[in-house]
Amino acid sequence: MFVVGDEEFLPIKENSVDLVISCLGLHWTNDLPGAMIQSMLALKPDGLFLAAILGGETLKELRIACTVAQMEREGGISPRISPLAQVRDAGNLLTRAGFNLPGVDVDEYTVKYES
């Protein structure tokens, strides 16, 4: 079975699947802990949850540039980029969602552009 659905409202019955995969979508949800709980509830016992999310340091340079530019132009700031979970928080969120053996890995990529 292959199901595609909204991560905030999973169209999957509880205890019905062996594997839940989320690839670069969870970090955009409004309720990250709730989405993780839904994924956990959908899994059968010993089911596997695999997710890839953008972490808290992603787009750091863009955040800084937007902040500086807005401070200079408008004298104040408002967030232009969604908040992202820090690595240390991701494991805690998984535990809070009910996962038994959470593991968090980090892969860092730096892309440079000629200006």
Asked whether residue 105 is domain-assigned, the answer is no
Asked whether residue 46 is domain-assigned, the answer is yes
User: Region 59-63: what's the mean pLDDT?
Assistant: 87
Asked whether residue 24 is domain-assigned, the answer is yes
CA separation for the pair 104, 37 (Å, rounded) = 17
Asked whether residue 28 is domain-assigned, the answer is yes
Query: With left for phi above 0 and alpha for psi between -120 and 50, is residue 98 left, alpha or beta?
Result: left
* CA–centroid distance for 74 within its chain: 31
Q: Give 80's pLDDT tier (boundaries 50, 70, 90).
A: confident
Asked whether residue 52 is domain-assigned, the answer is yes
Which residues neighbour 16 within 8 Å (Cβ) at sequence distance 6 or greater?
Answer: 42, 44
- Overall number of domains in the chain: 1
Whole-prediction pTM value?
0.81
The H or E element that residue 21 is part of is strand 17-23
What is the model's pLDDT at position 13?
A: 94
User: Region 48-70: what's the mean pLDDT?
Assistant: 90
Domain that includes residue 43, residue range? 17-56+84-97
Would you say 99 and 40 are in contact if contact means Cβ atoms under 8 Å apart? yes
Asked whether residue 111 is domain-assigned, the answer is no
